[in-house]
Amino acid sequence: GDSVTQTEGLVTLTKGLPVMLNCTYQTTYSPFLFWYVQHLNEAPKLLLKSSTDNKRTEHQGFYATLHKSSSSFHLQKSSVQLSDSALYFCALSDGPNYNVLYFGSGTKLTVEP
């Protein structure tokens, strides 16, 4: 069945460094991938999304590229800020009706001064 794997549960970085959060997925349908961000005591919000192979999508300084050949949709940022500390979820829209999102277990990013 459809599934999403996020390998890092916790990532801690110093402000200004680059970050990559891993996301791989499994599906037999055409993939639609999402990254959601959840700040402390807030609701998850969409950060970015893509269904186009090998095309970089960007939002708020974060970017990701869907690679169908490797079933990956890693989230990156070139220079993290303190305000980027949050929980990040990768999600896959299920096929063939795309009514449901499958979420990964999440990666908690902590940015230190």
Q: Which of 20, 39, 59, 98 binds another protein (CB under 8 A)?
A: 98
Looking at residue 26, the DSSP 8-state letter turns out to be E
Alpha helices in 5-106 (DSSP H): none
Q: How many whole angstroms separate alpha carbon 106 and alpha carbon 102?
A: 12
Of 26-55, which residues contact another protein (CB under 8 A)?
30, 32, 34, 42-46, 49, 51
Shortest Å distance, C-beta 15 to another protein: 25
Q: Count other C-beta atoms under 10 Å from residue 44's C-beta.
A: 17
Residues in contact with another protein by CB under 8 A are 6, 9, 30, 32, 34, 42-46, 49, 51, 89, 93, 95, 97-101, 103-106
